[in-house]
Amino acid sequence: MSNHAASYLLNEVLEILEVYGVYKHLGRPTSQELVREIVAASSDYDCNPGEILDAIGGRLGLCCSCLRSADLLRTGRCEDCRRK
């Protein structure tokens, strides 16, 4: 069972960072790595990467399934993950 509340909280934190221009300041590759680390840490708390990356993952170019960088995402997932 996922920790939905924590997943939604992390999504909101990522959105706030975007509002404050953190991702623009860091640049895309560093921003992606930051978010990957946050999502990786969230696994210890049974969070759901799809809920964490909802909407923001697409804007950052991160697949919610494999966390790889991807320019073209559909439903939050890269082409490889959609094929699986």
Residue 16 within any structural domain of the chain: yes
Give the count of domains, the chain.
1
> The whole model's pTM is what?
0.91
Would residue 47 count as lying in a domain?
Answer: yes
Averaged confidence pLDDT in the chain: 96
Question: Does residue 82 lie in a domain region?
Answer: no
- The percentage of residues in the chain with a pLDDT greater than 70, rounded to a whole number, is 100
Residue 37 lies in a domain: yes
Asked if residue 25 is part of any domain, the answer here is yes
Range of the domain at 27: 4-77
The verdict on residue 83 lying in a domain is: no
Query: What is the per-residue pLDDT for 2?
Result: 86
The reported pLDDT for the residue numbered 38 is 97
What are 14-54's pLDDT values in tens digits?
Answer: 999 999 999 999 999 999 999 999 999 999 999 999 999 99
**Cβ neighbours of residue 10 under 8 Å, at least 6 residues apart?**
38, 39, 42, 47, 52
Q: Please indicate, yes or no, if residue 36 is contained in any of the structural domains.
A: yes
